[in-house]
Amino acid sequence: MRIAIALFLFVVAIRAACAAPEVSAPARTSEFQQAALNIDVEGIKLGMTPEQVAALGAKLIRESALDNPQAKVVGYHCDGFQQLGMAMLSFCDGKLYRINVAYDPDTLQKIGGWEAIHHRMVATLGESRDSDETAVWTFLDVDRAFFLKKRKETVILSISNLAVEREVRQRKGNLGF
């Protein structure tokens, strides 16, 4: 079951990251751009190493379904944070480039639901492109994309470094994937 959820999160994140640069985004102030570069989820930030994430108290469990050794991508399931729900972390060249979080109904109830998460994201990143319980923020100048999706009784949040996403896609393309 965990692998199926991991693969679903992976596909959702890739679709969001791949589509994000092609769609125009609202103008972004330097304040929002800086927030996009520095945003964290329970202290976990893009660019961290697995050791830095583990030092925050996270239990990292290798998810081979997300691994791609030729592209130097390693995936982990992350446990140990009460507010996270289920998190999948993807690293390329030893640095975190994608955070995927699936908030289950119990976790959503504790933190205020979709509305509370969306409100916090808008307060931090500015207005998003919204459609049917989906919100997308893209920051092309700083290579960041954020994807928030309400799906039945869960909410999925994906945070990506677009430059690394492009590099990973290129590596996979060069490998015939």
Q: What is the pTM of this model?
A: 0.81
Strand order, beta sheet including 86-92: 59-62, 73-79, 86-92, 95-103, 154-161, 144-151, 134-139, 129-131
Rounded to 5 degrees, φ, ψ at 62 are -60, 130
C-beta separation of 77 from 60 below 8 A: yes
Tokens linked to 23: 């769609």
* Per-residue pLDDT tens listing for the chain (177 residues): 444 454 444 444 444 444 444 444 445 578 999 999 999 998 999 999 999 999 998 889 998 888 888 889 999 999 877 677 789 999 999 999 999 999 989 889 888 988 999 999 999 999 998 887 899 999 999 999 999 999 888 999 999 999 999 999 888 886 554
Tokens linked to 126: 């500015």
Instruction: Pick the closest to residue 71 from 96, 91, 48 (CA basis).
Output: 91
* Longest Cα–Cα distance in the chain: 44
